[in-house]
Protein backbone atom coordinates (compact mmCIF):
# COMPACT_ATOMS: atom_id res chain seq x y z
CA UNK A 1 0.00 0.00 0.00
CA UNK A 2 1.58 3.25 -1.15
CA UNK A 3 0.53 6.89 -1.45
CA UNK A 4 1.78 8.29 -4.76
CA UNK A 5 1.87 11.87 -6.00
CA UNK A 6 0.16 12.45 -9.35
CA UNK A 7 -0.54 15.60 -11.40
CA UNK A 8 -4.24 16.50 -11.42
CA UNK A 9 -5.99 16.39 -14.77
CA UNK A 10 -6.50 19.61 -16.66
CA UNK A 11 -9.99 20.95 -15.90
CA UNK A 12 -10.49 18.21 -13.30
CA UNK A 13 -13.21 20.28 -11.67
CA UNK A 14 -15.40 20.17 -14.79
CA UNK A 15 -14.72 16.49 -15.22
CA UNK A 16 -15.85 15.48 -11.73
CA UNK A 17 -18.83 17.83 -11.98
CA UNK A 18 -19.85 16.01 -15.16
CA UNK A 19 -20.07 12.86 -13.02
CA UNK A 20 -22.24 14.64 -10.45
CA UNK A 21 -19.62 15.59 -7.86
CA UNK A 22 -20.41 19.27 -7.40
CA UNK A 23 -19.03 19.52 -3.85
CA UNK A 24 -15.41 18.87 -4.88
CA UNK A 25 -14.46 22.25 -3.38
CA UNK A 26 -16.20 24.27 -0.71
CA UNK A 27 -15.63 27.16 1.68
CA UNK A 28 -14.85 26.36 5.30
CA UNK A 29 -16.35 28.29 8.20
CA UNK A 30 -13.26 30.54 8.28
CA UNK A 31 -13.77 31.44 4.61
CA UNK A 32 -10.85 29.36 3.31
CA UNK A 33 -11.39 27.17 0.26
CA UNK A 34 -11.19 23.43 0.94
CA UNK A 35 -10.64 20.77 -1.71
CA UNK A 36 -12.63 17.62 -0.96
CA UNK A 37 -11.79 15.63 -4.10
CA UNK A 38 -8.00 15.21 -4.18
CA UNK A 39 -6.44 13.63 -7.26
CA UNK A 40 -2.98 15.09 -6.69
CA UNK A 41 -2.28 11.80 -4.91
CA UNK A 42 -3.61 8.28 -5.17
CA UNK A 43 -3.21 5.06 -3.22
CA UNK A 44 -1.83 1.91 -4.83
CA UNK A 45 -2.58 -1.58 -3.53
CA UNK A 46 -1.27 -5.00 -4.41
CA UNK A 47 -3.68 -7.70 -5.51
CA UNK A 48 -3.04 -9.49 -2.21
CA UNK A 49 -3.97 -6.40 -0.21
CA UNK A 50 -7.21 -6.04 -2.14
CA UNK A 51 -8.02 -9.70 -1.57
CA UNK A 52 -7.47 -9.19 2.15
CA UNK A 53 -9.74 -6.11 2.26
CA UNK A 54 -12.49 -7.96 0.36
CA UNK A 55 -12.19 -11.03 2.59
CA UNK A 56 -12.26 -8.92 5.76
CA UNK A 57 -15.31 -7.02 4.52
CA UNK A 58 -17.20 -10.21 3.74
CA UNK A 59 -16.37 -11.66 7.13
CA UNK A 60 -17.35 -8.47 8.96
CA UNK A 61 -20.68 -8.44 7.11
CA UNK A 62 -21.46 -11.92 8.45
CA UNK A 63 -20.23 -11.01 11.94
CA UNK A 64 -22.36 -7.87 12.17
CA UNK A 65 -25.49 -9.77 11.16
CA UNK A 66 -24.82 -12.35 13.85
CA UNK A 67 -24.28 -9.48 16.28
CA UNK A 68 -27.69 -8.03 15.31
CA UNK A 69 -29.29 -11.39 16.09
CA UNK A 70 -27.46 -11.42 19.43
CA UNK A 71 -28.79 -7.96 20.33
CA UNK A 72 -32.34 -9.05 19.53
CA UNK A 73 -32.10 -12.42 21.28
CA UNK A 74 -30.68 -10.84 24.44
CA UNK A 75 -32.65 -7.58 24.25
CA UNK A 76 -29.60 -5.36 24.57
CA UNK A 77 -31.50 -2.30 23.35
CA UNK A 78 -31.09 -0.29 26.54
CA UNK A 79 -27.31 -0.69 26.44
CA UNK A 80 -27.37 0.85 22.97
CA UNK A 81 -29.86 3.57 24.02
CA UNK A 82 -32.38 2.45 21.42
CA UNK A 83 -35.82 3.90 22.27
CA UNK A 84 -38.32 1.39 23.60
CA UNK A 85 -40.83 2.41 20.97
CA UNK A 86 -38.42 1.43 18.19
CA UNK A 87 -37.96 -2.15 19.43
CA UNK A 88 -41.13 -3.63 17.84
CA UNK A 89 -40.20 -1.97 14.55
CA UNK A 90 -36.69 -3.44 14.65
CA UNK A 91 -37.88 -6.91 15.57
CA UNK A 92 -40.66 -6.92 12.97
CA UNK A 93 -38.19 -5.76 10.35
CA UNK A 94 -35.62 -8.42 11.28
CA UNK A 95 -38.20 -11.23 11.32
CA UNK A 96 -39.74 -10.32 7.96
CA UNK A 97 -36.31 -10.14 6.24
CA UNK A 98 -36.97 -7.08 4.06
CA UNK A 99 -34.39 -6.23 1.39
CA UNK A 100 -31.22 -4.33 2.18
CA UNK A 101 -29.35 -2.34 -0.45
CA UNK A 102 -25.88 -1.34 0.72
CA UNK A 103 -23.53 -0.34 3.53
CA UNK A 104 -20.00 0.92 4.13
CA UNK A 105 -17.47 -0.48 6.58
CA UNK A 106 -14.85 2.06 7.64
CA UNK A 107 -11.57 0.23 8.09
CA UNK A 108 -8.17 1.17 9.45
CA UNK A 109 -5.55 -0.35 7.18
CA UNK A 110 -1.87 0.37 6.57
CA UNK A 111 -0.71 -2.53 4.41
CA UNK A 112 1.21 -4.02 7.34
CA UNK A 113 -1.44 -5.08 9.85
CA UNK A 114 -4.85 -6.73 9.35
CA UNK A 115 -7.62 -4.25 8.58
CA UNK A 116 -9.53 -3.13 11.67
CA UNK A 117 -13.18 -2.13 11.83
CA UNK A 118 -13.65 1.46 12.96
CA UNK A 119 -17.44 1.57 12.44
CA UNK A 120 -20.18 0.39 10.12
CA UNK A 121 -22.20 2.97 8.21
CA UNK A 122 -25.09 0.59 7.68
CA UNK A 123 -28.03 2.96 7.32
CA UNK A 124 -27.17 6.15 5.44
CA UNK A 125 -23.65 5.85 4.00
CA UNK A 126 -22.48 8.58 1.63
CA UNK A 127 -19.24 9.06 -0.38
CA UNK A 128 -20.94 6.62 -2.74
CA UNK A 129 -20.81 8.58 -6.00
CA UNK A 130 -17.11 9.28 -5.48
CA UNK A 131 -16.33 5.62 -4.90
CA UNK A 132 -18.61 4.09 -7.52
CA UNK A 133 -18.28 6.53 -10.43
CA UNK A 134 -15.93 9.50 -10.06
CA UNK A 135 -12.78 7.58 -9.18
CA UNK A 136 -13.54 5.04 -11.93
CA UNK A 137 -13.56 7.76 -14.61
CA UNK A 138 -10.33 9.12 -13.10
CA UNK A 139 -8.79 5.65 -13.47
CA UNK A 140 -9.90 5.27 -17.08
CA UNK A 141 -8.37 8.62 -18.04
CA UNK A 142 -5.14 8.49 -16.03
CA UNK A 143 -4.29 4.82 -15.35
CA UNK A 144 -6.16 2.82 -17.97
CA UNK A 145 -3.62 -0.03 -17.77
CA UNK A 146 -4.28 -0.46 -14.04
CA UNK A 147 -7.25 -1.89 -12.18
CA UNK A 148 -9.41 -0.67 -9.31
CA UNK A 149 -11.33 -2.55 -6.63
CA UNK A 150 -14.64 -1.12 -7.75
CA UNK A 151 -17.67 -3.01 -9.03
CA UNK A 152 -20.05 -0.88 -6.95
CA UNK A 153 -22.05 0.55 -9.84
CA UNK A 154 -22.54 -2.78 -11.59
CA UNK A 155 -23.36 -4.54 -8.32
CA UNK A 156 -26.01 -1.94 -7.47
CA UNK A 157 -27.75 -2.40 -10.81
CA UNK A 158 -27.56 -6.19 -10.51
CA UNK A 159 -28.97 -6.08 -6.98
CA UNK A 160 -31.84 -3.81 -8.00
CA UNK A 161 -32.70 -6.41 -10.66
CA UNK A 162 -32.82 -9.06 -7.92
CA UNK A 163 -35.03 -6.82 -5.78
CA UNK A 164 -37.36 -5.75 -8.61
CA UNK A 165 -39.85 -8.66 -8.24
CA UNK A 166 -40.25 -7.74 -4.57
CA UNK A 167 -40.88 -4.03 -5.20
CA UNK A 168 -44.64 -3.36 -5.53
CA UNK A 169 -45.41 -2.11 -9.01
CA UNK A 170 -41.72 -2.39 -9.93
CA UNK A 171 -41.22 1.03 -8.35
CA UNK A 172 -39.04 2.64 -5.67
CA UNK A 173 -39.37 6.25 -4.51
CA UNK A 174 -36.25 8.02 -3.27
CA UNK A 175 -35.98 10.81 -0.72
CA UNK A 176 -33.39 12.69 1.31
CA UNK A 177 -32.91 15.94 3.16
CA UNK A 178 -32.45 19.13 1.16
CA UNK A 179 -28.67 18.73 1.20
CA UNK A 180 -26.50 18.73 -1.91
CA UNK A 181 -24.55 15.54 -1.16
CA UNK A 182 -27.53 13.60 0.19
CA UNK A 183 -29.74 14.64 -2.72
CA UNK A 184 -27.08 13.66 -5.29
CA UNK A 185 -26.48 10.32 -3.58
CA UNK A 186 -30.20 9.51 -3.59
CA UNK A 187 -30.54 10.59 -7.23
CA UNK A 188 -27.56 8.45 -8.19
CA UNK A 189 -29.15 5.43 -6.52
CA UNK A 190 -32.42 6.21 -8.30
CA UNK A 191 -30.50 6.16 -11.57
CA UNK A 192 -29.08 2.71 -10.81
CA UNK A 193 -32.60 1.49 -10.01
CA UNK A 194 -33.90 2.88 -13.30
CA UNK A 195 -31.06 1.16 -15.17
CA UNK A 196 -32.30 -2.07 -13.59
CA UNK A 197 -35.79 -1.45 -15.02
CA UNK A 198 -37.52 0.05 -11.97
CA UNK A 199 -39.62 3.20 -12.02
CA UNK A 200 -38.64 5.90 -9.53
CA UNK A 201 -39.23 9.42 -8.30
CA UNK A 202 -37.37 11.77 -5.96
CA UNK A 203 -38.65 14.16 -3.31
CA UNK A 204 -37.44 15.56 0.00
CA UNK A 205 -38.23 13.58 3.09
CA UNK A 206 -40.28 16.33 4.68
CA UNK A 207 -42.73 15.90 1.78
CA UNK A 208 -43.76 12.44 2.99
CA UNK A 209 -47.29 12.51 4.39
CA UNK A 210 -49.66 10.25 6.32
CA UNK A 211 -53.27 9.95 5.15
CA UNK A 212 -54.50 8.11 8.21
CA UNK A 213 -53.75 4.63 6.88
CA UNK A 214 -50.55 4.80 4.86
CA UNK A 215 -47.53 6.93 3.97
CA UNK A 216 -47.92 9.09 0.88
CA UNK A 217 -45.69 11.08 -1.44
CA UNK A 218 -46.09 14.75 -2.37
CA UNK A 219 -48.62 13.73 -5.03
CA UNK A 220 -50.63 11.89 -2.31
CA UNK A 221 -49.86 8.56 -3.96
CA UNK A 222 -49.38 5.72 -1.42
CA UNK A 223 -45.70 4.88 -0.95
CA UNK A 224 -45.07 1.18 -1.39
CA UNK A 225 -41.25 1.09 -1.43
CA UNK A 226 -39.07 4.00 -0.27
CA UNK A 227 -35.33 4.49 -0.21
CA UNK A 228 -34.68 7.14 2.42
CA UNK A 229 -31.27 8.70 2.92
CA UNK A 230 -32.26 9.74 6.41
CA UNK A 231 -31.22 8.07 9.69
CA UNK A 232 -33.63 5.72 11.40
CA UNK A 233 -32.67 7.13 14.81
CA UNK A 234 -34.06 10.49 13.65
CA UNK A 235 -37.15 9.00 12.02
CA UNK A 236 -38.36 7.11 15.08
CA UNK A 237 -38.05 10.22 17.29
CA UNK A 238 -40.07 12.51 15.02
CA UNK A 239 -43.80 13.11 15.02
CA UNK A 240 -44.56 10.70 12.18
CA UNK A 241 -42.32 8.08 13.80
CA UNK A 242 -45.29 6.72 15.74
CA UNK A 243 -46.81 5.56 12.46
CA UNK A 244 -43.76 3.43 11.66
CA UNK A 245 -44.15 0.91 14.46
CA UNK A 246 -46.36 -2.15 13.98
CA UNK A 247 -47.52 -1.73 17.58
CA UNK A 248 -48.54 1.91 17.08
CA UNK A 249 -51.24 3.69 15.07
CA UNK A 250 -49.28 3.10 11.89
CA UNK A 251 -49.39 -0.69 12.03
CA UNK A 252 -51.19 -1.15 8.69
CA UNK A 253 -49.01 1.50 7.04
CA UNK A 254 -45.75 -0.04 8.07
CA UNK A 255 -46.91 -3.34 6.63
CA UNK A 256 -47.56 -1.67 3.28
CA UNK A 257 -44.33 0.31 2.99
CA UNK A 258 -40.94 -1.28 2.30
CA UNK A 259 -38.18 0.93 3.68
CA UNK A 260 -34.63 0.88 2.38
CA UNK A 261 -32.56 0.60 4.43
CA UNK A 262 -34.70 -1.64 6.73
CA UNK A 263 -35.28 -0.65 10.35
CA UNK A 264 -33.03 -3.36 11.80
CA UNK A 265 -30.06 -1.45 10.35
CA UNK A 266 -30.51 0.80 13.43
CA UNK A 267 -28.64 -1.90 15.33
CA UNK A 268 -25.60 -1.79 13.08
CA UNK A 269 -25.36 1.97 12.48
CA UNK A 270 -25.34 2.42 16.27
CA UNK A 271 -21.75 2.31 17.55
CA UNK A 272 -22.96 0.22 20.44
CA UNK A 273 -22.57 -2.69 18.02
CA UNK A 274 -18.78 -2.37 18.44
CA UNK A 275 -18.70 -3.61 22.08
CA UNK A 276 -21.22 -6.30 21.14
CA UNK A 277 -18.93 -7.52 18.37
CA UNK A 278 -15.95 -7.54 20.73
CA UNK A 279 -17.88 -9.56 23.29
CA UNK A 280 -18.86 -12.08 20.61
CA UNK A 281 -15.46 -12.18 18.90
CA UNK A 282 -12.78 -11.23 21.46
CA UNK A 283 -9.32 -10.66 19.97
CA UNK A 284 -10.61 -11.08 16.42
CA UNK A 285 -7.96 -9.81 13.99
CA UNK A 286 -10.42 -7.45 12.24
CA UNK A 287 -11.72 -5.83 15.43
CA UNK A 288 -10.47 -3.28 17.92
CA UNK A 289 -11.23 -3.80 21.59
CA UNK A 290 -14.44 -1.95 22.44
CA UNK A 291 -16.49 -1.37 25.56
CA UNK A 292 -19.37 0.63 26.96
CA UNK A 293 -17.13 1.40 29.96
CA UNK A 294 -14.29 3.90 30.12
CA UNK A 295 -10.88 2.14 30.06
CA UNK A 296 -8.58 2.19 33.06
CA UNK A 297 -6.80 5.44 33.84
CA UNK A 298 -3.85 6.05 31.54
CA UNK A 299 -5.04 3.73 28.78
CA UNK A 300 -5.23 4.85 25.18
CA UNK A 301 -8.70 4.91 23.62
CA UNK A 302 -11.07 6.52 21.15
CA UNK A 303 -14.37 7.70 22.61
CA UNK A 304 -17.24 7.80 20.11
CA UNK A 305 -20.88 8.86 20.49
CA UNK A 306 -23.34 6.02 20.07
CA UNK A 307 -25.15 8.01 17.38
CA UNK A 308 -22.44 10.34 16.10
CA UNK A 309 -21.96 11.34 12.48
CA UNK A 310 -19.05 12.67 10.39
CA UNK A 311 -16.51 12.35 13.20
CA UNK A 312 -18.37 14.71 15.54
CA UNK A 313 -17.62 14.64 19.29
CA UNK A 314 -14.87 12.04 18.99
CA UNK A 315 -11.97 12.00 21.48
CA UNK A 316 -8.68 10.27 20.70
CA UNK A 317 -6.46 9.71 23.73
CA UNK A 318 -2.97 8.45 22.94
CA UNK A 319 0.24 8.60 24.97
CA UNK A 320 -1.39 10.96 27.44
CA UNK A 321 -2.50 13.46 24.79
CA UNK A 322 -6.00 14.08 23.50
CA UNK A 323 -7.40 15.18 20.15
CA UNK A 324 -11.09 16.13 20.13
CA UNK A 325 -13.63 17.15 17.54
CA UNK A 326 -16.61 19.39 18.15
CA UNK A 327 -20.24 18.71 17.43
CA UNK A 328 -23.67 18.17 18.91
CA UNK A 329 -23.60 14.40 19.48
CA UNK A 330 -23.17 12.27 22.57
CA UNK A 331 -26.44 12.84 24.41
CA UNK A 332 -27.25 9.11 24.25
CA UNK A 333 -23.83 8.06 25.54
CA UNK A 334 -20.49 6.83 24.23
CA UNK A 335 -18.46 3.74 23.47
CA UNK A 336 -14.72 3.31 23.92
CA UNK A 337 -12.60 1.67 21.28
CA UNK A 338 -8.93 0.70 21.11
CA UNK A 339 -6.61 2.99 19.17
CA UNK A 340 -5.01 0.38 16.92
CA UNK A 341 -1.86 0.73 14.80
CA UNK A 342 -1.71 4.32 13.55
CA UNK A 343 0.40 4.92 10.46
CA UNK A 344 0.50 8.10 8.46
CA UNK A 345 1.30 8.33 4.76
CA UNK A 346 3.21 11.57 4.18
CA UNK A 347 1.41 13.00 7.21
CA UNK A 348 -2.05 11.81 6.15
CA UNK A 349 -4.20 9.14 7.80
CA UNK A 350 -6.35 7.14 5.36
CA UNK A 351 -9.59 5.32 6.17
CA UNK A 352 -10.79 2.64 3.79
CA UNK A 353 -14.50 2.83 3.08
CA UNK A 354 -15.29 -0.75 2.03
CA UNK A 355 -18.68 -1.09 0.36
CA UNK A 356 -21.09 -3.99 0.49
CA UNK A 357 -24.06 -4.35 -1.85
CA UNK A 358 -26.90 -6.69 -0.99
CA UNK A 359 -26.14 -9.76 1.08
CA UNK A 360 -24.53 -12.62 -0.77
CA UNK A 361 -23.03 -14.80 1.92
CA UNK A 362 -19.27 -14.61 1.57
CA UNK A 363 -19.40 -12.24 -1.40
CA UNK A 364 -20.92 -8.87 -0.49
CA UNK A 365 -17.76 -6.74 -0.88
CA UNK A 366 -18.12 -4.48 -3.92
CA UNK A 367 -15.26 -1.98 -3.80
CA UNK A 368 -13.51 0.69 -1.78
CA UNK A 369 -13.16 4.44 -1.49
CA UNK A 370 -10.52 6.23 0.58
CA UNK A 371 -10.74 9.36 2.67
CA UNK A 372 -7.71 10.83 4.38
CA UNK A 373 -7.14 13.40 7.11
CA UNK A 374 -4.29 15.24 8.74
CA UNK A 375 -5.34 13.67 12.06
CA UNK A 376 -6.48 10.09 12.78
CA UNK A 377 -10.09 11.30 13.15
CA UNK A 378 -12.06 11.33 9.90
CA UNK A 379 -14.46 14.28 9.66
CA UNK A 380 -16.59 15.98 7.01
CA UNK A 381 -13.44 17.84 5.89
CA UNK A 382 -11.51 14.64 5.13
CA UNK A 383 -10.55 14.40 1.47
CA UNK A 384 -11.50 11.65 -0.96
CA UNK A 385 -8.51 10.15 -2.75
CA UNK A 386 -8.75 7.65 -5.64
CA UNK A 387 -6.91 4.33 -5.79
CA UNK A 388 -5.47 1.75 -8.16
CA UNK A 389 -4.52 -1.87 -7.66
CA UNK A 390 -2.12 -4.18 -9.42
Q: What is the DSSP-derived secondary structure letter of residue 132? A: I
Length of the chain: 390
Which pLDDT tens digits describe the chain residue by residue (390 residues)?
999 999 999 999 999 999 999 999 976 666 677 899 999 999 999 999 999 999 999 999 999 999 999 999 999 999 999 999 899 999 999 998 888 999 999 999 999 999 999 999 999 999 999 999 999 999 999 999 999 999 999 999 999 999 999 999 999 999 999 999 999 999 999 999 999 999 999 999 999 999 888 899 999 999 999 999 999 999 998 888 888 876 655 554 455 789 999 999 999 999 999 999 999 999 999 999 999 999 988 899 999 999 988 889 999 999 889 889 999 999 999 999 999 888 999 999 999 999 999 987 778 999 999 999 998 988 888 999 999 997
b/e sequence 29-54, b meaning 16+ C-beta within 10 Å: eeeeeeebbbbebbbbbeeebbebbb
CA dihedral for 162, 167, 172, 177, sign (positive or negative): negative
Give the pLDDT of residue 102.
Answer: 97
The predicted pLDDT at position 247 comes to 62
Q: How far apart are CA 157 and CA 149, in angstroms?
A: 17
Other CB atoms within a 10 A radius of the CB of residue 191 amount to 17
Q: What is the rounded CA–CA span in Å between residue 326 and residue 247?
A: 37
Give the domain ranges of the chain: 2-272+342-389
Longest dimension (CA), the chain: 59
pLDDT at residue 387, as a whole number: 98
For residue 105, the tally of other CB atoms under 10 A from its CB is 27
Q: Are 171 and 198 in contact (CB under 8 A)?
A: yes
DSSP states of 201-253: EEEEGGG-EE-SSSEE-TT-PBPSEEEEES-HHHHTTSGGGGGTSTTSTTHHH
Amino acid sequence: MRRIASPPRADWQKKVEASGLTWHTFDRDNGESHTYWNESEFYEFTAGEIDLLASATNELEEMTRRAAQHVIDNRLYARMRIPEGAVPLIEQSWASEPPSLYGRFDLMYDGRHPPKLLEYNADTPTSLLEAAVVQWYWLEETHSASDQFNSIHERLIAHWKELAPHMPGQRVDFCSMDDREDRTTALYLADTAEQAGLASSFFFIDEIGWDGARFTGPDERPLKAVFKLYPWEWMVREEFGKYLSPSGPGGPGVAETIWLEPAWKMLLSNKGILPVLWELYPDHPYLLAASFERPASGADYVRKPLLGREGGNVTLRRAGREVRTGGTYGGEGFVYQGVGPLRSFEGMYPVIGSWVVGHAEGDSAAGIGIRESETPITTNLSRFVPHVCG
